[in-house]
């Protein structure tokens, strides 16, 4: 595999684990506020991010590339309002999309079409991630100011269940 491409994929493992850590911190914030449904939603999000990291880890191993695990940064966002994590989540996903797009572009340039195919799943997944984040913001704008509707929204988010990624390597 192209050296630069392998390094970018290796770095992405770290970014995905950081995402997991960031989402766990959001779950932590909502848990402290007594909103266990929101906390559940972000705990599952954190699990999904670990899956993303492991898919890239496995892909590099499957291609005989050495993986180097690096330190995961401390979650660096401060949340005050109930909306703050939702907005930070969307911003973060837009950033991750730009990272995936960059790796995709490098894979295309070096004509590594196997990696391009592997990354197709991530490109689609980022579309879903951004949509989910945007939907949450919309729902909070609509229902967040009233205790009763916030309770219902919290109950809706409590129903989210984890499912393993659809991508098989
Ligand atoms: Fe791994 Fe939320 O993107």
DSSP 7-49: HHHHHHHHHHHHHHHHHHHHHHHHHHTT-HHHHHHHHHHHHHH
Q: Per the domain annotation, does 163 fall within a domain? A: no
As a dihedral over the C-alpha atoms of residue 24, residue 29, residue 33, residue 35, rounded to 10 degrees, the angle is -30
Count of the separate structural domains present in the chain: 1
Per-residue pLDDT, 16: 98
Distance 1 CA to ligand 1 centre (A): 23
114-125 as b/e, with b when 16 or more CB fall inside 10 Å?
A: ebbebbebbeeb
Is residue 52 within 6 Å of ligand 1 at its C-beta?
A: yes
Q: Per the domain annotation, does 123 fall within a domain? A: yes
Residue-wise pLDDT for 54-70, tens only, equals 999 999 999 999 999 99
Is residue 12 within 6 Å of ligand 1 at its C-beta?
A: no
Q: Per the domain annotation, does 127 fall within a domain? A: yes
Residue 45 structural domain: 3-158
Residue nearest atom 1 in ligand 1 by C-alpha distance: 49
Distance 93 CA to ligand 1 centre (A): 6
Q: Mean pLDDT throughout 2-25?
A: 98
For residue 166, name the pLDDT band (cuts at 50, 70, 90).
confident
What Rg value do the Cα atoms of the chain yield, rounded?
17
Ligand 1 atom closest to residue 23's alpha carbon, by position in its atom list:
2
Q: Per the domain annotation, does 153 fall within a domain? A: yes
Q: Per the domain annotation, does 149 fall within a domain? A: yes
Per-residue pLDDT, 151: 98
Q: Per the domain annotation, does 109 fall within a domain? A: yes
Distance 148 CA to ligand 1 centre (A): 31
Q: Per the domain annotation, does 110 fall within a domain? A: yes
pTM: predicted TM-score of the whole model, two decimal places: 0.96
Residue-wise pLDDT for 73-122, tens only, equals 999 899 999 999 999 999 999 999 999 999 999 999 999 999 999 999 99
In CATH, what number is assigned to the domain containing residue 63? 1.20.1260.10
Is residue 16 within 6 Å of ligand 1 at its C-beta?
A: yes
Q: Mean pLDDT throughout 11-38?
A: 98
Q: Per the domain annotation, does 128 fall within a domain? A: yes
Which two three-digit tokens encode residue 151?
């309770």
């Amino acid at each position: 595999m192209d050296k630069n491409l392998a390094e970018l994929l290796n770095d992405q493992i770290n970014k995905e684990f950081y995402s997991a850590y960031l989402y766990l911190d959001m779950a932590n914030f909502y848990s402290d506020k007594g909103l266990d449904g929101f906390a559940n939603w972000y705990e599952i999000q954190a699990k999904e991010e670990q899956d993303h990291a492991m898919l890239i880890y496995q892909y590099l191993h499957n291609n005989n590339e050495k993986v180097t695990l690096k330190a995961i940064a401390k979650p660096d966002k401060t949340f005050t309002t109930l909306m703050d994590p939702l907005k930070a989540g969307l911003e973060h996903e837009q950033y991750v999309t730009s990272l995936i797009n960059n790796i995709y572009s490098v894979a295309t340039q070096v004509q590594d079409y196997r990696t391009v195919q592997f990354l197709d799943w991530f490109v689609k997944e980022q579309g879903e991630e951004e949509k989910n984040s945007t939907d949450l913001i919309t729902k909070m704008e609509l229902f967040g100011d009233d205790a009763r509707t916030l309770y219902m929204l919290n109950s809706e988010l409590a129903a989210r269940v984890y499912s393993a990624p659809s991508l098989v390597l």
